[in-house]
Amino acid sequence: MDHFDIASRRRVLGAAVVAAGALLLTGCGGSGDSGDSGGKGSARQDVASLHSDAPDGKATAQAAPSSDDGRPQLRLDSSEEEKNRYWHIYAQCLKEHGHKMIAVRGPDSVDDTDHSATAKAATKACASKLPLQPPEMDESTNPHYDDDYRAYVKCLNRKGLKVTALPDNSGWTYDGNTTLSADQQTQVDKSCTLEAFGGKTQ
């Protein structure tokens, strides 16, 4: 059964994955981004400054570098273009430093099974380019994380993406096939993330 965890969002997705929808093809397992100090499904970082569209269609302020070694800080309303831009920069940095890639999945697809000394050195060298997920999706900064995550999963189901949360709220598994297209699933994921996690942290 396919498995999705929020940490997987931090993975650098290949062109084929992005085209098919990150929600469907993120894959299983750990996050693969060293230097991330968060718990369940947390994610963080920032690189280039790009404008993103807020839910109301208005341009939001540029993503500001975080206090965590200058890493880019994503927001709940960050656009897919913005997030993909950050992950592309991180992936290319890893590649330039010798980390193995999965070419058949696209130029930005990092091989999470590469645990060589070269890969570890690349991860360390590129740590400042690893995007940080929104603080609302970081268990260490959001005291309502578990409640928000359960609300997120309920929202996914309500909108047609049939899934079941893992016991520790670190991810979910598919309950079966969905009639939603890849683009629709991406939109459902984004809207449910905003609905469940928005405006709850201090």
**Per-residue model confidence as pLDDT tens digits over 46-83:** 222 222 333 333 333 344 444 457 899 999 988 889 99
**Per-residue model confidence as pLDDT tens digits over 17-39:** 332 233 333 333 333 333 333 33
Do the beta carbons of residue 98 and residue 118 sit within 8 Å? Answer: yes
**Per-residue model confidence as pLDDT tens digits over 114-136:** 999 999 999 999 999 999 989 99
Model confidence at 195: pLDDT above 50: yes
pTM score of the predicted model: 0.57
Which pLDDT value is given to residue 199? 53
Residues, the chain, total?
Answer: 202
Which pLDDT value is given to residue 201? 43
Report the candidate in 13, 11, 25 with the shortest Cα–Cα distance to residue 189: 25
Report the candidate in 76, 74, 53 with the shortest Cα–Cα distance to residue 63: 74
Model confidence at 192: pLDDT above 90: yes
DSSP string of 87-146? Answer: HHHHHHHHHHTT--B-GGG-TT-B-TT--SHHHHHHHHHTGGGSEEPPGGG-TTT-TTHH
**Per-residue model confidence as pLDDT tens digits over 156-173:** 999 999 899 998 888 898
Report the candidate in 91, 14, 4 with the shortest Cα–Cα distance to residue 45: 91
